[in-house]
Chains A and B, each alone.
Chain A
Amino acid sequence: MLKVSPLRKRQFLGGIIGIILGGVIFYTLTLETTEKYISIGPMNTGHQELSCFACHADAKGNLLQQVQSNVSHAFGAREEGVDFGTKDVTVDNCMQCHDRPNDRHPTHRFSEPRFKEAVEQIDATTCITCHTEHQEERVSVASINYCVNCHQDLEVENDPLDISHKSLIAKEEWFTCIQCHDFHGNHKYDVPEKLSDTIPMKSIQNYFNGGKDPYGTAKKYTALSQEAWLKTLGE
């Protein structure tokens, strides 16, 4: 009869319990209903109804294949590693729902060499510079004077403003731009001509934090819902 020491018995039992517990935790946390527990933070305004997979698509291959590929890459047997678990989220993910022909500042425009210096100040080639996800807000940009990076030489012919654009720029009043102009240009509204009629900074900040839209609710294009996006994948 094989003698097993009590210590080994406990180790074996502990190992079995660990495997079962690990399996249960893995199964539970991969359920759709428990997504919020593994999310790194609450979703931004308008994204509350999205499932994780809407942005975090499964990476190619199964987990074992991904481990094998990355181990091979680490030992130099494979030229490039692979995504583990889920694919990286890119601008393309955002564009699948938010792409619009009337975007005044589409991200791809800033890939041009002449925007190099501006992009060093604010990376407008990617959405997350201003819209970092999982922050429970709408706009997360550090400072709203970003127009300074490209529009220093702006001249408006027959300027309709009571205080001209030229003098606003001379006084470096870059925070006032956003009080008249929405960055992506999708709102349908009458742009004010008097500085006293512009949107108060408090309302802008509230909007950035996820509050009421001060530019109005009329928009030329609306982003796709998850259901509408899923339909486009089937087309």
Chain B
Amino acid sequence: MKTIYKTILLFTCIILASCGGVPEEKSKVASIEKAFSVEEVLEMVAKENDVTRTLYTKAIVGKGKAQGMKFDEDWRKDDVEAGPLPALFLRGVATSIRKSPVPLGLYLGSDFPVNAANKFEGKQADLFEEIKKDQKPQFFYDEEQKLHTAMFADLASAGACVSCHNKHPQTTKSDWKLGDVMGATTWQYPKDSLTYKETVAVLNAYAKGTVDIYVQYLDEIKAFEASEKPEIGDKWPAEGNYLPTAEVFLDSVKKLSSYETMKHLVATK
């Protein structure tokens, strides 16, 4: 009888071994191809973010307001016919990134936020004090979340930043000036180094995020009933009651930021 048990055991082992396991993920193999540190990648995407937000703030919000276009924090509400303010534009980008398979986190905060929920606390508050002194990025590893985290200064780069925040009914500071560090963007990524492919995926996820939120804004405009709808095409608000299409907007971002990013990608590769 013992022979039967041994035979059964042997066959079970043979069947188990011969079926092969579930194929392992390829990421372990890819680790030898790491091209960039997480700090480098987050600096690249933060730079893209600077360019995108400045373009949106100056060319869309700033010039658009001069044409009578409205921008509001409640822009998603049905009874509000307006576009997203720059901070909410960024929030929209962050949401889109979260929906992508790229594990990148993006957040906005300040020590004097309009929305109290955006006030820095703990380690972020301490590092933000450093950022305000020298405007240099701060990096740390969040042990609890197991995430590499970077914070970048968010400057008052356009008149619209200063005037809107100073006049906002819920502002906690009303003497902002051009060039002030108004807050910081916080970025998170789980790995300490990225392959070339992963780096491009991060940059693409950000670019797709800007298109997604901008398209949502254009969709809101389609539903406007009381307000005059701007003409959407290849012209910008500086020329009249116009808004660029998502493609035209993204093209301009690429023109402004691609040289710096490409230089980095090519030089390291």
Assess whether A32 is interfacial by the CB under 8 Å rule.
no
Complex Cα distance, B216 from A123, in Å, reads 29
Q: Mark A138-179, 1 if CB is under 8 A from B, else 0.
A: 000000000000110111111000000000000000000000
Cross-chain contact B170 with A157 (CB below 8 angstroms): yes
Residues of B within 8 A of A205 (CB): none
Known A-B contacts A113-B149, A116-B144; A72 and B109 likewise in contact (beta carbons under 8 Å)? no
Assess whether A18 is interfacial by the CB under 8 Å rule.
no
Residues of B within 8 A of A155 (CB): 116, 170
Binds B, one of A38-46, A58-66, A224-232: A58-66
Binds A, one of B19-27, B199-207, B230-238: B19-27
A65 contacts which of B19, B107, B116, B149 (Cβ < 8 Å)?
B19
Known A-B contacts A99-B99, A102-B76; A113 and B122 likewise in contact (beta carbons under 8 Å)? yes
Residues of B within 8 A of A99 (CB): 99
Which B80-111 residues have a C-beta within 8 angstroms of A? Answer: 92, 94-95, 98-99, 105, 107, 109
Looking at chain B's contact residues, the main secondary structure is mixed
Cross-chain contact A114 with B121 (CB below 8 angstroms): yes
Residues of A within 8 A of B188 (CB): 111-112
Chain B interfacial residues counted at CB < 8 A: 38
Cross-chain contact A64 with B76 (CB below 8 angstroms): no
Known A-B contacts A151-B116, A155-B116; A109 and B107 likewise in contact (beta carbons under 8 Å)? yes
B96: shortest Cβ distance to chain A, in Å?
9
Q: Which residue in chain B gives the minimum CB-CB distance to A106?
A: B95
Q: Mark B146-165, 1 if CB is under 8 A from A, else 0.
A: 00010000000000000000
Cross-chain contact B107 with A61 (CB below 8 angstroms): no
Cross-chain contact A188 with B121 (CB below 8 angstroms): no
B165: shortest Cβ distance to chain A, in Å?
14
Cross-chain contact A114 with B122 (CB below 8 angstroms): yes
Q: Which of B21, B24, B107 has the most CB of A within 10 A?
A: B21
Cross-chain contact B28 with A111 (CB below 8 angstroms): no
Assess whether A28 is interfacial by the CB under 8 Å rule.
no
B109 contacts which of A78, A114, A154, A188 (Cβ < 8 Å)?
A114
Assess whether B267 is interfacial by the CB under 8 Å rule.
no
Cross-chain contact B99 with A188 (CB below 8 angstroms): no
Assess whether A19 is interfacial by the CB under 8 Å rule.
no
Cross-chain contact B21 with A72 (CB below 8 angstroms): yes
Cross-chain contact B20 with A108 (CB below 8 angstroms): no
Complex Cα distance, B153 from A229, in Å, reads 40
Lowest 7 A-B CB distances belong to which pairs?
A: A61-B22, A69-B21, A157-B169, A64-B19, A108-B98, A112-B107, A114-B121
A-B contacts, 9 listed (Cβ < 8 Å): A59-B22, A62-B19, A66-B22, A71-B16, A111-B105, A113-B124, A114-B122, A155-B170, A188-B78
A interface with B by C-beta (< 8 Å): 59-62, 64-69, 71-72, 78-80, 82, 95, 99, 101-102, 106, 108-109, 111-114, 116-117, 150-151, 153-158, 188, 220
